[in-house]
Structure formats: C-alpha cells, structure tokens
Chains A and B, each alone.
Chain A
Amino acid sequence: MKTYEQINNRIESGKAVVLTADEIIDYVEKKGLAAAAKEVDVVTTATFGPMCSSGCVLNFGHSKPKIRMSEAWVQDVLVYTGLAAVDVYLGATQLRHNDPANMDHPGEFRYGGAHVMEDLVAGKTLQLFALSYGTDCYPLREIRTYFTINDLNQAIMLNPRNCYQNYNVAVNDSDRTIYTYMGTLEPKRKNANYCSAGQLSPLLNDPYYETIGVGTRVWLAGAHGHVYAEGTQHAGGGSRTPEGIPKGGSGTLALTADMKQMSKEFVRGTSFRGYGVSLALGVGIPIPILNEDVLKRTCISDREILAPVVDYSHDYPQNTGKVLCHVSYEQLRTGEIEVEGKKVAVGSLSSYYKALEIAHLLADEIKRGDFRLAEPIAYLPKDTKMRPLVAREKPS
C-alpha cells in the first residue's frame, strides 16, 4: 500500500520507479505482482488520436475603443461568442467559412477549428475578424486584426470529451465506399478501422476509475492539465469482460490545460474525407501504483482487450446497437481480422507510435521530478448508461 503523498515524495527525491503501460506487462511477469507493487510507483498511459469533442477558450483582451464581440471568426472559422465581451470558444470540428463541406461529395475539409488550434499552438499569426451590435460600454462595431498565441491573455484547451475507454472497429457492409469519422471504408467489408491505443490507453489501464478521476493531473500535448469532469457520453455501466474491460465505448474524460505550454506535434488538425474536421491530440495519464490491484489492472495486454466490430453503413448510422463480433487489439494489430469467416484488412486512426512516445515523455518527466501526481477530488461514476435522444411529439 502506498499513498499519493508517498509517491510524490519519491518523485520529488528523484527516486520514483516509473514504467510505461507496455513495459509493465513483462516487468510484472518477471518480478511477480507483490514485489513489483512494492517497487513501482507510477505506470504511464497515453493515447494519440482524433478527438472531435475538443476546443479552446480564448481571451483576446480589449481593443481601444472596446468591443463586445457578437460574431467572430479566427482564420475564417466561426467561434462561439455567447460569453463575455472578448471571450470566445473555438470548436475543433467547426468548418471554415465557405467550406463546401459535402456539396461535392466526398468533401476534403482541408481546414477547420482543429487546424486553427494546431496553428495557434505552433505560434503562427492568425486573423481575427469580429462584429458587434455596439453598446454604450462597448462601442466598437467591427475589428480585423492579427495575433499569435502570445498576444492572448488566455488560450485554454477545454475538451468536453477525450480518451474514450474503448472504441468500435468500423467496417462497411454496403456496396459503395463510405466516408466516416472512422475514416474511409471500402465496400463489402474490404477494410476495417479502429481507434484506440489499446494496452497503452489510459482508461483501459484503470478500468474501474480507481485513480483517474476529477482533479487527476494529466499530460495534455506537453502541458500539465487536469481532468475537470467526467467526459460527455461517459457511461461506465456497460458490459465488461471478467477483467473489467468494457466491451464498448464506456468511460470518457473532460480535459483542460494551458495551450501556451503545449507542443505542436501533439495538437494536430485532421481532415476526414467526406466527414469533416477533427483534432488529434496527445494525452498522457499517470497511474499511481497504490496497491497490487491497481498494478494488476495496468498489466492488461492487447490480447485481453476486446473491441466491437460495427457496420458503419447501417448499424451505426441507424443506431441499431448491433455488433457483428468482438476482436482483440492483438488481432487488430496484426493488420488483419476475421469477421464472420471473412478476412478483413485493418487500418488505424489513432497512433500507437505517438502514444508510446508520450508514455515515455511522461515517464521521463516524472522520473526527473517535473510532474507530480494529483489525487482525484471526485471519482467518475461506474454505473451510468448512455441515454438516447428521443424524437417526441410536443407535450400538450
């Protein structure tokens, strides 16, 4: 048994033993669970993949005379201005003004909110254009100016949903190519796409949310941020394997951190042909090895994690809930799975390569004493289910 305080003291003295979630598997096998639990202080987990429910709050400071922005665009991407005078929220999936979207199907979606976020973190000069109806206290009606992240008072990433605990494997059973947020899917189940770091993924290493909760300090694209709430669509109560691994989406996290501390290689705008724009983001989360149980759960391997295979031509869009079968991440990583007797080539959307890099970067920071762990101030619910949106008649 260790406490957060004991672990943090070891981190501070530079003596902490830190391993990544893939290294820990062999380590525990070699040393045995009890001995390893005594030795190891922290296991680092990570993921890097598209996370649509991402965005950021920007504060521009005040112009002379002042403006209360009522509509605004950054790089021609509409931002939300229903906040205070010069606060805006930039959403990752927002398209650039005049983007033809899917008018000429499949659209290319070359630039949107997520690309603005990437450019912002990269320190590029961006254009702000804002309009206002004008008030006595905020008389300016229009402004066009140029800024970098350094000119802003705050640039705070505020993501309602990141780090899906587990995720679907998408296939296409129709006879035409389909374009989805899970990538391009060829007809007749010719290819499959998955999107998870598997054995490295944060919530798969802490399936019952014993250490990752509200207040947990996280590594977000190089900045130190934290979990500020359960993520949207968090549904911890779905069906699980005997090891506790959810067989579907399940848990999610709402994350925040200062964008001024982020590095650009971990904040990447993505364009999904025929679908739209999303943000690929690097997240690292440390798991304190408080006891043997916590350690045991971090030893989960790709072989034991199952993902549901779902038809994105019918069952996903029509919300039928049908799952074709479950496959393990070990199978997915071979590049080929078998679905109902047919071999299907597998591609991925999240980058295991980047996730591994992040897990090591975080481990190094902790070993150097530069990253301390924070104990959650509240835990994520384990019993909630996902609610549907019901199209109802207007109540009389």
Chain B
Amino acid sequence: MSQTVTKKLMLFFPKCECEKPIIYHLVKDHNLIVNVFRAKVTPEEEGYLALDVTGTEEDIQKGMDFVKTFNVSINTTGKGITVDEDHCTHCGHCITHCPTGALHIADMATREVIFTESKCIECMGCIRVCPYNACASAF
C-alpha cells in the first residue's frame, strides 16, 4: 500500500457548482478522508471551502482531477487565512488565541512571530484579535 499524505486545499465554487455533492464523491469514489475547516456560501451564491484531504498521492490527484471537471478552482497552497508580513509587527497578541501554534514565536531573542500555514485550522481567532489588521481571510 502506498503512503497516505494530507494536503490542505482551498476550493472556490462558482455560482453554478454550489449545489453539487462534490465532497461526497471525493470520499466515496476516491477514498479520501476529508476534514473541512471552514465553508461559506456568499450572498452571490459562490462557495468557498477550506479543507484537508488525506489519501494516497494517486487518489488525491484523481480526486482533484474530478473536482476540476466541475469548473471549481483549487488552491493547493490553501491560503484561506493570510498573515500579511508587511503588516505584522510581531507583537505576539495572537499567540494565546491561536489554538494550534500556527502563529508562534520563532526566535526567543528577536521575538519574531511566524505563521506556519500547514498548522492553521482556520478558526479565525487571530483575525478577531490582531490589533494591526495583519490577519485576513480569503472568504
């Protein structure tokens, strides 16, 4: 059996694709384990979905090919939450509000705050507390 991997993805569903059970097919037909962090349908009926998929590289690839047939765009860098490096002052206020340590102090001497995207579960905690407006959500 080949190794399973976990990938963080952000999917954008244009208006017409919102009602299709795409995730169901990812699980059922492509053997993927899906962990949805955050989903949103805008008033314009466009949809956003931030999720982890776990499976073999091959299954993930097939799943992605399947998703693409629906005109859904896939962002494999998973940028649902962004921390603007130019705006972050490394104050450290977000640290105690980030449940996973995605935002953490990288260097105790300079106290630089680093955002490790792969650890982010998109709880939006940092967006609520960052006084400097450095954290943002793509949706």
**Which residue on A lies nearest to B111, using beta carbons?**
A352
8 A Cβ contacts from A209-255 to B: none
Q: Which of A58-66, A81-89, A131-139, A268-276 lies at the interface?
A: A268-276
Q: Which residues of A contact B111 (CB under 8 A)?
A: 333, 351-353, 356
Total A-B pairs in contact (CB under 8 Å)?
A: 74
CB of B128 within 8 A of CB of A347, answer no
**Does A128 make an interface contact (CB < 8 A)?**
no
- Per-position binary interface string of chain B over residues 82-95, scored 1 when its CB falls under 8 Å from any chain A CB and 0 otherwise: 00000001111111
**Which residue on B lies nearest to A110, using beta carbons?**
B133
Total number of B residues with any Cβ neighbor in A under 8 Å? 20
Q: Which residues of A contact B105 (CB under 8 A)?
A: 335
Q: Which residues of A contact B91 (CB under 8 A)?
A: 49, 280, 348-351, 353-354
**Does A158 make an interface contact (CB < 8 A)?**
no
Measured in the bound complex, the distance between the Cα atoms of B92 and A79 in whole Å is: 32
CB of B96 within 8 A of CB of A191, answer yes
Give the shortest distance, in Å, between B83 (CB) and chain A (any CB): 14
Measured in the bound complex, the distance between the Cα atoms of B54 and A264 in whole Å is: 44
Known: A333-B108, A348-B95. 18 other contacts (CB 8 A): A49-B91, A183-B129, A191-B96, A191-B97, A192-B96, A193-B93, A268-B89, A270-B131, A271-B133, A280-B89, A280-B91, A335-B95, A345-B96, A347-B93, A348-B93, A349-B131, A353-B90, A353-B113
CB of A184 within 8 A of CB of B97, answer yes
Q: Which residues of B contact A280 (CB under 8 A)?
A: 89, 91, 131-132
Given A335-B105, A347-B92, A352-B111, is A273 in contact with B132 using a C-beta cutoff of 8 Å? no
CB of A354 within 8 A of CB of B131, answer no
CB of B108 within 8 A of CB of A272, answer no
**Does A346 make an interface contact (CB < 8 A)?**
yes
Measured in the bound complex, the distance between the Cα atoms of B92 and A354 in whole Å is: 11
Measured in the bound complex, the distance between the Cα atoms of B89 and A278 in whole Å is: 15
Q: Which residues of B contact A192 (CB under 8 A)?
A: 96
Give the shortest distance, in Å, between A389 (CB) and chain B (any CB): 27
Which of A271, A347, A354 has the most B CB atoms < 10 Å from its CB?
A347
Of A269, A272, A347, A354, which is within 8 A of B96 by CB?
A347
Of A272, A278, A347, A356, which is within 8 A of B97 by CB?
A347
Q: Which residues of A contact B129 (CB under 8 A)?
A: 183-184, 273
Q: Which residues of B contact A (CB under 8 A)?
A: 89-97, 105, 108, 110-113, 128-129, 131-133
What are 27 A-B pairs with beta-carbon distances under 8 A?
A110-B133, A183-B93, A183-B129, A183-B131, A268-B89, A269-B133, A271-B131, A272-B131, A273-B129, A280-B131, A280-B132, A347-B94, A348-B91, A348-B93, A349-B91, A349-B93, A349-B131, A350-B91, A351-B91, A352-B90, A352-B92, A352-B110, A353-B110, A353-B111, A353-B113, A354-B90, A356-B111
Measured in the bound complex, the distance between the Cα atoms of B91 and A191 in whole Å is: 15
**Which residue on B lies nearest to A190, using beta carbons?**
B96
Q: Which residues of B contact A112 (CB under 8 A)?
A: none
Measured in the bound complex, the distance between the Cα atoms of B11 and A17 in whole Å is: 56
Measured in the bound complex, the distance between the Cα atoms of B95 and A353 in whole Å is: 14
**Which residue on B lies nearest to A350, using beta carbons?**
B91
Give the shortest distance, in Å, between B99 (CB) and chain A (any CB): 11
Q: Which residues of B contact A345 (CB under 8 A)?
A: 95-96
Of B90, B128, B132, which is within 8 A of A184 by CB?
B128
Measured in the bound complex, the distance between the Cα atoms of B97 and A183 in whole Å is: 11
Measured in the bound complex, the distance between the Cα atoms of B91 and A269 in whole Å is: 14
Measured in the bound complex, the distance between the Cα atoms of B95 and A352 in whole Å is: 14
CB of B89 within 8 A of CB of A351, answer yes
Measured in the bound complex, the distance between the Cα atoms of B112 and A271 in whole Å is: 21
**Does A73 make an interface contact (CB < 8 A)?**
no
**Does A167 make an interface contact (CB < 8 A)?**
no
Measured in the bound complex, the distance between the Cα atoms of B89 and A49 in whole Å is: 9
Given A349-B91, A351-B90, A354-B89, is A50 in contact with B96 using a C-beta cutoff of 8 Å? no
Measured in the bound complex, the distance between the Cα atoms of B94 and A50 in whole Å is: 15
**Which residue on B lies nearest to A106, using beta carbons?**
B128
Give the shortest distance, in Å, between A283 (CB) and chain B (any CB): 14
8 A Cβ contacts from A165-216 to B: 183-184, 186, 190-193
Q: Which 6 A-B pairs have the closest CB atoms?
A: A353-B90, A270-B131, A348-B92, A191-B96, A347-B96, A345-B96
**Which residue on B lies nearest to A50, using beta carbons?**
B131
**Does A48 make an interface contact (CB < 8 A)?**
yes
CB of A356 within 8 A of CB of B110, answer yes
Measured in the bound complex, the distance between the Cα atoms of B111 and A271 in whole Å is: 22
Which of A348, A350, A353, A356 has the most B CB atoms < 10 Å from its CB?
A353
CB of A351 within 8 A of CB of B92, answer yes
Measured in the bound complex, the distance between the Cα atoms of B94 and A184 in whole Å is: 10
Q: Which residues of A contact B89 (CB under 8 A)?
A: 48, 268, 280, 351, 353-354
Q: Which residues of A contact B108 (CB under 8 A)?
A: 333
Give the shortest distance, in Å, between B136 (CB) and chain A (any CB): 12
